[in-house]
Chain A
Amino acid sequence: EQLVESGGGVVRPGRSLRLSCAASGFTFNNYAIHWVRQSPGKGPEWVALIWYDGSDKFYLDSVRGRFSISRDNSKNRVFLEMNNLRPDDTALYFCARERREFGGFGGAFDIWGQGTRVTVSS
């Protein structure tokens, strides 16, 4: 059971990035997936959630309207499209699996990726 993130990088403010999270070793389309970020010297901050079938999505207030979460269950992948990036979006971004099958409103993340780093700087 594994999650692997990719797509991070260094971008200027106002630009976009698309993060990807590839899953393996479990029945991907039974699980909600979250994105969580951690800025240097700070604790984790939840960013977004997508329901196991993609039918529902939730966002951190400060990213709503700029970030969009999606998934392709045929390819076992979740994506985070980040637009109009700001310096305070700089962080290590993790994707994480909600522990309970067909659940999402839990905040119990039992599998995490290794993270992909996003730096927003001019």
Chain B
Amino acid sequence: QSGLTQPPSASAPPGQRVTISCSGGSSNLASNAVNWYQHLPGTAPKLLIYSNDQRPSGVPDRFSAFTSGTSASLVISGLQSEDEADYYCASWDDSLGGHVVFGGGTKLTVL
């Protein structure tokens, strides 16, 4: 099944801004919304962003996102040490009868 492509790692010092990209294709990001998750070891993933750029209640406004064509980006501003985690994008994919596809994940290190 087709997937979403993310860089394996990203890093920045505390207080800075980092952008994590997610690249898709015609069967997913071109026509379906992207969602972003934060995953800490030993826990279930946490929904950070849904419908391309919407934050669930309780998610700080330091987290934002945008899309452009078949790509999406998660932006974390004012980095804090507790932001160190794995981040995944996910979207519905219309191919192969329809399924949800996740990106491979980006490990964020706060330097």
**Which A residues contact B (CB, under 8 angstroms)?**
34, 36, 43-46, 49, 58-61, 94, 96, 99, 105-110, 112-115
Q: Is the CB of B102 within 8 A of A106?
A: no
- How distant is the Cα of A108 from the Cα of B86 in the complex, in angstroms? 17
The answer to whether B51 touches A108, judged by C-beta atoms less than 8 angstroms apart, is: yes
In the bound complex, do residue A110 and residue B56 qualify as a contact, i.e. CB atoms below 8 Å apart?
A: yes
The main secondary structure of chain B at its interface with chain A is strand
Closest to B90 in A: A107
B1 touches A60 (CB 8 A): yes
CB within 8 Å of A: which of B72-111?
A: 86, 88, 90-92, 96-105
CA distance A107 to B92 in the complex (A): 6
Please report the number of residue pairs spanning A and B whose Cβ atoms sit closer than 8 angstroms.
72
Q: How far is the CA of A106 from the CA of B28 in the complex (A)?
A: 11
Q: How far apart are the CA atoms of A36 and B101 in the complex, in Å?
A: 11
Q: Which of B50, B86, B98, B104 makes the CB contact (< 8 A) with A105?
A: B98
Chain A residues lying within 8 Å of B69, measured Cβ to Cβ, are none
A107 and B100 form a contact (CB under 8 A): yes
Does B23 have its Cβ within 8 Å of any Cβ on chain A?
no
Q: In the complex, are the beta carbons of B44 and A43 less than 8 A apart?
A: no
Residues from chain B with Cβ under 8 Å of A43 in the complex: 39, 86, 88, 102-105
Q: Contact mask B28-48 → A, CB, 8 Å, 1/0?
A: 000011010101000011010
Select from chain A the residue with minimum beta-carbon distance to B89: A107
Q: Which residues of B contact A110 (CB under 8 A)?
A: 47, 50, 56
Quote the shortest CB–CB distance from A61 to chain B (angstroms): 5
Check if A61 sits within 8 Å of B99, measured CB to CB: yes
Interface contact A113-B99, CB-CB below 8 Å:
no
A34-B100, A108-B47 provided; 16 other pairs, C-beta below 8 A? A36-B100, A43-B39, A44-B90, A44-B102, A45-B102, A61-B99, A105-B92, A106-B33, A106-B35, A106-B92, A107-B35, A107-B101, A109-B35, A112-B44, A113-B44, A115-B44
